[in-house]
Amino acid sequence: MSWNTIFSFFLLAQVLFSCTGNKKKNANLQNREKPNVLLIMTDDQGFGDFGFTGNPDVITPNLDKLAKRSIYFTNFHVSPVCAPTRSSLMTGKYHALTGVYDTYNGGATMATEEVTMAEILRDHGYQTGIFGKWHLGDNYPFRPQDQGFSTSLIHPSGGMGQVGDIYNYFHGDSSYFDPVLLKNGSPVQTEGYCTDVFTDAAIEFIRENKDKPFFTYLAYNAPHTPLQVPDEYYQRFKHLQFDTGKYEIKAYPIKGMNERNQESARRVYAMVNNIDDNLGKLFDVLDKLHLRENTLVIFLTDNGPQQIRYTGGLRGRKGMVYEGGIRVPMLMDIPGEEDHRTLGFKSAHIDLLPTILEFCKVPLPAGLNIDGKNLWPVIKGEEVDWKDRPLFFTWQRGMPEPYRNVSVSKGMYKLVGHSPYNHPDFELFDIGKDPFELNNLSKANPEVVSELKNDFDAFYKRVIESPNLKPRRAQIGTEYENPVILNRNDAKGPPGVWAQDKLYAFWTVSIMKSGFYDIEFFFRNELPGGGQLIMKAGPVQRTLSFKDAPDQTIKLEKVYLMKGDCDFNAWFQHKGELYLPFYISILNN
């Protein structure tokens, strides 16, 4: 039998079977007092970007070793893109129900009313720290320090060096090196490569709290674009040539990788190798501090790969609801657990909050309703009556839509919709027999299509009735954030609100108290000539005229703003064209 065939059977078996083993448990596991939690998530690292998932080119010895000592969930799912996965992870709810529906354009701000994992653990005596990527709101009251984290070292917006990251955007191809990061909300200059910086900060946090229960959320921004990596790691993969024939495992094939695809893969694998080395360093610290025996370590990724590369045969990539976009490996290294095995039970990001709380013997807050399920009975080999529950995965630019890039997975079947609501077009797959989604069974099984569509319709009704899809408003005029920086990641407007200069957009804000404010408008490029700066905030409008081109930064001093909710509008008008500020700073005097 060929390697290709063997590996196909291996992946298929992961979906079909749960190898329960002998289920030996250490008694200490049941009697443990306030265990630590280390939750690790990487960014845009797909199912196939590991040695333990069969990638012949990547180098991940520490993660491979972790897989061998963990419960390896082989049928675990997340959202198709970054912020939605993160909101579900923190709350145990489907992302749209938390107010998160996109990665930018105002859709990546989680409702402050949501109760996060960090808040629950903090309220039960845990020290809570986040290091890396938050991507659930850059302004008060949505920041990590407002949502339960006592210590935070993060980059703003969805990606380091992206438009919302005003501190590193202008560093261009070096934004991942010596980055300016936000430490508990204040910008600080750091030294080194970002993954190294985040790991060292997590290690420092663990050392400081080694005698207290801690929840450490290490959310790397790598291997997300831009694909910047230290040269010593790049040199290890610089000459790597890709034989895509090795990737065709009688599954969804990669028909070819052009030079751009190959260069991206080399850089991603170099970044992954750096992550792996950092995790090796982190695990060594846990061992030396004798914390491993009292620390639950969980590893997962936030979605599938952005670029074309090895996926373990899974169909699709980041942004898609095919398995290649939403299925990721999840490792759970349980202290005191002697039976390390693979577990093919279908599960998802929404399940981690109740599972972690159960392990820590922390109850859900009274009255808190979540979508996720506690996985501990499954880990123990017990039967659960929700094993065939429907799981929903959606993502579109903008507000949630029915049937366009949506999926429902229920039992062994999976329904995929990828069309407008007025012309619904569905694919149906038997994931048990066809984990690579090659055979569309929709025509032969209309009753199954109808059942899963009805499940989605009920779910969609819940989504659009959710109170959290209303605009999330940055609060201006509080003691918690001053000045307030309004960045492009949270600007609302057409889909092109990104690095463009000539467009109209706005920010939704709450002026918390009437008073005088100094407002600075920073433009990405030099303005072309004379014109007018116009600012509108509720009933307040100001116009400032310039005969010649002003500087890139324009300041309005002592502007009286009125208390209340409003849209904050600002633009520079030159010969009939509007130029949007790159960011706005609002200081309460």
**97-150 pLDDT per residue, tens:** 999 999 999 999 999 999 999 999 999 999 999 999 999 999 999 999 999 999
pLDDT, tens only, 413-463: 999 998 887 888 999 999 999 999 999 999 999 999 999 999 999 999 999
> Which residue range(s) make up the domain with 7?
3-379
pLDDT for res 408: 98
Residue 463's closest CA among 94, 110, 29?
Answer: 94
Residue 134's closest CA among 114, 152, 120?
Answer: 152
Both 364 and 420 in one domain: the answer is no
Do residues 105 and 493 make contact, with C-beta atoms less than 8 angstroms apart? Answer: yes
The span from the CA of 540 to the CA of 517, in Å, is 12
Local structure of 299: helix, strand or coil: strand
Both 59 and 169 in one domain: the answer is yes
Do residues 370 and 353 make contact, with C-beta atoms less than 8 angstroms apart? Answer: yes
Which range is least confidently modeled, 18-27, 30-39, 63-72, 340-349?
Answer: 18-27
In CATH, what number is assigned to the domain containing residue 418?
3.30.1120.10
Domain end position, chosen among 359, 379, 399: 379
DSSP string of 202-253, one letter each residue? HHHHHHHTTTS-EEEEEE--TTSSS----HHHHHHHTT----GGGG-SSSS-
Look-up: residue for tokens 């094993």? 387
In CATH, what number is assigned to the domain containing residue 483?
2.60.120.260
Both 442 and 372 in one domain: the answer is no
Do residues 491 and 106 make contact, with C-beta atoms less than 8 angstroms apart? Answer: yes
* Structure-derived torsion over alpha carbons of residues 221, 224, 227, 233, reported in degrees to the nearest 10: 60
Q: Is residue 174, in this structure, part of any structural domain at all?
A: yes
Residue type, 51: G
- The model's pTM is 0.94
Do residues 318 and 304 make contact, with C-beta atoms less than 8 angstroms apart? Answer: yes
* Count of structural domains, the chain: 3
The span from the CA of 195 to the CA of 167, in Å, is 17
Phi, psi values for residue 580, rounded to 5°: -85, 135
| Averaged pLDDT score across all residues of the chain | 92
The span from the CA of 81 to the CA of 102, in Å, is 8
Handedness of CA 114, 116, 121, 127 (dihedral sign): negative
Domain end position, chosen among 344, 379, 414: 379
Q: In Å, how far are 315, 413, 563 from 17, measured between CA atoms?
A: 20, 15, 59
In CATH, what number is assigned to the domain containing residue 137?
3.40.720.10
Both 557 and 435 in one domain: the answer is no
pLDDT: which is higher, 385 or 255: 385
Both 447 and 569 in one domain: the answer is no
Mean pLDDT confidence for 71-80: 97
Domain end position, chosen among 469, 495, 514: 469
Q: Is residue 160, in this structure, part of any structural domain at all?
A: yes
